[in-house]
């Protein structure tokens, strides 16, 4: 029993050390929408431009993405760590006010999925392929649009207008997921 616990702690420590960003994923189907925190994100291919996200199989987001065949992936600044905790449970979406958990959003061109107004950058994706696992569905999305809603820098330079975006990472928080 003790050997299993030692092994489990080691496995979690090793897998948690994989460098992961923290992102928000928006989804919508008809009058139901959601935003969730996501750390399982990767670029999959450059031709076509594909981005993959791992979403818990039983989650509200998985259901909405499966139905709509689309999602948004939002990139957060490193100083936006408080936002990710607001979206670890199903969100409260007010379509009339264009707010989700109290944050204003705009609608993506694909399936009207939410994009929070002050994210560093975002991509809109159409589902290209799904891979099913026991715990997660890996949605591979084709990038159909990219943009930024972030407040410009004091000198007027767009916030996402740098060579490398300084995005929020798992290590910027005390959160651990996976492993």
In tens, the pLDDT along 57-66 reads 999 999 999 9
Beta strands in 64-162 (DSSP E): 70-75, 93-94, 99-100, 103-107, 114-116, 121-132, 136-147
Residue 16 lies in a domain: no
The mean pLDDT of the chain is 88
Whether 179 maps to a domain, the answer reads no
CB 78 within 8 A of CB 168: yes
Residue 15, in any domain of the structure: no
* Phi, psi angle pair for 47, to nearest 5°: -140, 100
With residues binned 3-state (H G I as helix, E B as strand, rest as coil), the percentages for the chain, rounded to 5, are 20, 40, 40
Predicted confidence band of residue 179 (pLDDT cuts 50, 70, 90): very low
CATH number of the domain that residue 27 is part of: 2.30.110.10
Flag whether pLDDT at 117 surpasses 80.
Answer: yes
Q: What's the residue count for the chain?
A: 179
Domain that holds residue 95: 22-172
92 located within any domain:
yes
Q: Does 177 map to a domain?
A: no
Tokens of 9: 């702690």
Cβ proximity of 121 and 146 under 8 Å: yes
Domains of the chain: total = 1
Percent of the chain with pLDDT over 70: 84
Establish if 2 belongs to a structural domain.
no
Global pTM value: 0.85
The answer as to whether 34 is a domain residue is: yes
């Amino acid at each position: 029993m003790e050997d299993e616990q030692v092994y489990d702690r080691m496995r979690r420590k090793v897998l948690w050390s994989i460098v992961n960003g923290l992102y928000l994923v928006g989804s919508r189907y008809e009058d139901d929408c959601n935003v969730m925190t996501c750390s399982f994100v990767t670029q999959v291919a450059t031709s076509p431009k594909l981005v993959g996200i791992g979403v818990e199989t039983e989650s509200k987001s998985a259901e909405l993405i499966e139905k709509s065949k689309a999602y948004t992936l939002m990139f957060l600044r490193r100083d936006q760590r408080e936002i990710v905790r607001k979206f670890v449970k199903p969100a409260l979406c007010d379509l009339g006010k264009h707010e989700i958990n109290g944050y204003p959003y705009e609608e993506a061109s694909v399936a009207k999925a939410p994009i929070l107004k002050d994210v560093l950058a975002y991509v809109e994706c159409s589902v290209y392929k799904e891979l099913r696992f026991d715990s997660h569905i890996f949605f591979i999305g084709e990038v159909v649009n990219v943009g930024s809603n972030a407040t410009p820098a004091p000198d007027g330079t767009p916030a996402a207008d740098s060579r490398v975006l300084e995005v929020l990472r798992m290590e910027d928080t005390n959160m651990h997921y996976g492993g």
